[in-house]
C-alpha cells in the first residue's frame, strides 16, 4: 500500500494557468499521484478525491471518521478558496467510506459545514489508497457569482441526510445518488434490483421534471451495485428509460450505506445541445461512448481487458487510456483537455503500476482525479477509468 512521505508535500500554491480553458489549482499537501488537487474549467471546479491528511501527509484523526470528515472538508475549503470559490458553492460531492458503519458519524460532522442548501451527494463504500483513511471525498463546485439553484420537486420531503436532491449550475443539473425511496415521505420502496432501478429512475424523472428536463437530457451516470450478479437485470430496467442515445455511464460493484438497497444511481443532466460521440466501437444499448453537452465531453467508464493482459493492471491501464484517447479524438479533444477522472481499481496493490501507466498519457497538466478500490463487472477487469473533458 502506498505510503505518503513528508518530502512529497508543500505549502499553499495557487492557480497555475495551464491553458485559457483549464487552470490547475493546488493547495495544501501535494498529490501522492499523477493528479492535480483541483481543476477550474468550463465554469466548474473539479476537486480531486481528498483524504484527511495533515501538512506532513499523515492521516489525521486515526480511527475517528468524524474527525477525518472535518479534516477532509477543511482541506477542500482551502482548495476552493484558492480557486475563487467556497464550500457553499459546492454542487456535487461523492463520499467514499470504508464501512457503512461510519455513515451516521460522517453525516454528523458533514452537516455542520452546510447549515442550509447542502450540495447533492452520493455515498458509497469503497477501499481507499491510504491504510488509515476512513473517508475520502471528491467535489464539483462553481466559482463565486455562478448560478447555484437547489431543485426540489413539489410535495417531496427534504432528505433526512445533509444533501439536496438536485442542484442546477448554469446549463448543468446535478442529481444526488438515488436509492429506492419514496420522495414524498422518505420511506423505503422494497423490491428486487429491477423494481429498485425503476423506482430510482422514476424519482430521477421527477427531479428532472422539476428542473424542466427529462431523461433525454441526462448526459452521464454512475451506477453502484452491491451484487455484480444483478448487472443484467439492472441493465434491462435501465434501458427502458434511455431507449436511444443513452448517457455515458460507469457501473461498478460497491457497497451502499443501507443494506436494504440493491442499486444506487447518480446522474448529471444538461440543458445544452446533446451529441453522442461515436468512436467506432460496437454500439452498446446501455451507454454511449461519450456525450458532448455544450463545452463538456462526458466519457463512459472504459476497460482495457484483452486476452494478453488479463493479469496486468499496467497493461490494462495503457489499453484503457488508448481507448479513451480515441474517444476524445472523435470529439476533437486530446488528453490535455481532460479535467476530471475517476479510476476504479479492483485491487489497490495495483495503484503504483496503474499510476506509472497513467502518468505516461497525462505527462503534465494532470486532471483532477479520484482513485478508489471497487469491484468491476467485467470478470477480468482490473481497472476502469471514466473522464470528463472540456473543449470550448
Q: Do 294-392 and 1-141 fall under one CATH topology?
A: yes
CATH code for the structural domain at 147-271:
3.30.1330.40
- CB-facing half-sphere around the CA of 39: CA atoms within 13 A: 29
pLDDT at 20: 53
Extents of the domains making up the chain: 1-141, 147-271, 294-392
From CA 295, how far away is CA 390, in angstroms rounded?
6
Residue 352: which H helix or E strand, with range? helix 351-361
pLDDT at 2: 40
pLDDT at 210: 98
* Angle at CA of residue 126, ends 298 and 368, nearest 5°: 40
Q: What is the DSSP letter of 188?
A: B
From CA 391, how far away is CA 371, in angstroms rounded?
24
Are 86 and 93 contacting, i.e. CB atoms less than 8 angstroms apart?
no
Beta strands in 51-180 (DSSP E): 90-97, 120-125, 135-141, 149-151, 166-169, 172-175
pLDDT at 3: 39
C-alpha cell at 171: 446549463
The pTM of the full predicted model, rounded to 2 decimals, is 0.94
From CA 61, how far away is CA 56, in angstroms rounded?
14
CATH assignment of 294-392, among 3.40.50.800, 3.30.360.10, 3.40.50.300, 3.30.1330.40:
3.30.1330.40
pLDDT at 31: 84
pLDDT in tens, the chain (392 residues): 343 333 333 333 333 334 457 999 988 777 878 999 999 999 999 999 999 999 888 999 999 999 999 999 999 999 999 999 999 999 999 999 999 999 999 999 999 999 999 999 999 999 999 999 999 999 999 999 999 999 999 999 999 999 999 999 999 999 999 999 999 999 999 999 999 999 999 999 999 999 999 999 999 999 999 999 999 999 999 999 999 999 999 999 999 999 999 999 999 999 999 999 988 888 899 999 999 999 999 999 999 999 999 999 999 999 999 999 999 999 999 999 999 999 999 999 999 999 999 999 987 789 999 999 999 999 999 999 999 999 97
Are 251 and 225 contacting, i.e. CB atoms less than 8 angstroms apart?
yes
Class of the CATH domain delimited by 1-141: alpha beta
Q: Which of 44, 62, 55, 105 is nearest to 270 (CA)?
A: 44
From CA 114, how far away is CA 162, in angstroms rounded?
8
Amino acid at each position: 500500500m502506498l505510503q505518503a512521505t513528508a518530502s512529497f508535500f508543500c505549502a499553499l500554491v495557487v492557480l497555475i494557468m495551464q491553458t485559457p480553458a483549464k487552470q490547475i489549482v493546488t493547495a495544501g499537501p501535494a498529490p501522492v499521484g499523477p493528479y492535480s488537487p483541483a481543476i477550474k474549467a468550463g465554469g466548474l471546479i473539479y476537486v480531486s478525491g481528498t483524504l484527511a491528511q495533515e501538512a506532513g501527509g499523515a492521516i489525521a484523526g486515526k480511527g475517528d471518521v468524524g474527525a477525518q470528515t472535518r479534516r477532509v472538508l477543511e482541506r477542500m475549503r482551502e482548495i476552493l478558496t484558492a480557486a475563487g470559490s467556497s464550500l457553499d458553492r459546492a454542487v456535487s460531492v461523492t463520499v467514499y467510506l470504508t464501512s457503512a458503519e461510519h455513515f451516521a458519524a460522517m453525516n454528523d460532522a458533514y452537516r455542520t459545514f452546510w447549515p442550509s442548501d447542502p450540495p447533492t451527494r452520493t455515498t458509497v463504500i469503497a477501499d481507499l489508497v491510504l491504510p488509515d483513511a476512513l473517508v475520502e471525498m471528491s467535489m464539483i463546485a462553481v466559482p463565486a457569482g455562478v448560478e447555484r439553484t437547489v431543485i426540489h420537486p413539489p410535495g417531496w420531503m427534504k432528505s433526512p441526510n445533509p444533501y439536496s436532491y438536485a442542484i442546477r449550475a448554469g446549463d448543468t443539473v446535478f442529481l444526488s445518488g438515488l436509492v429506492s425511496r419514496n420522495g414524498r415521505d422518505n420511506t423505503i420502496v422494497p423490491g428486487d434490483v429491477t423494481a429498485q432501478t425503476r423506482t430510482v429512475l422514476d424519482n430521477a424523472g421527477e427531479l428532472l421534471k422539476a428542473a424542466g428536463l427529462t431523461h433525454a437530457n441526462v448526459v452521464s451516470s454512475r451506477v453502484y451495485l452491491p451484487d455484480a450478479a444483478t448487472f443484467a437485470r439492472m441493465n434491462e430496467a435501465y434501458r427502458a428509460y434511455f431507449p436511444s442515445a443513452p448517457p455515458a455511464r460507469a457501473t461498478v460493484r460497491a457497497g451502499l450505506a443501507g443494506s436494504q438497497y440493491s442499486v444506487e444511481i447518480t446522474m448529471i443532466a444538461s440543458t445544452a445541445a446533446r451529441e453522442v460521440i461515436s468512436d467506432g466501437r460496437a454500439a452498446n444499448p446501455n451507454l454511449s461512448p461519450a456525450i458532448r453537452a455544450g463545452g463538456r465531453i462526458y466519457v463512459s467508464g472504459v476497460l482495457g481487458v484483452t486476452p494478453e493482459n488479463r493479469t496486468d493492471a499496467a497493461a490494462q491501464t495503457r489499453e484503457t487510456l488508448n481507448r479513451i484517447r480515441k474517444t476524445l479524438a472523435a470529439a476533437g479533444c486530446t488528453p490535455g483537455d481532460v479535467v476530471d477522472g475517476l479510476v476504479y481499481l479492483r485491487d489497490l496493490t495495483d495503484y503504483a503500476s496503474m499510476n506509472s501507466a497513467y502518468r505516461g498519457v497525462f505527462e503534465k497538466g494532470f486532471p483532477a482525479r479520484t482513485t478508489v478500490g471497487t469491484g468491476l463487472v467485467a470478470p477480468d477487469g482490473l481497472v476502469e477509468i471514466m473522464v470528463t473533458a472540456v473543449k470550448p
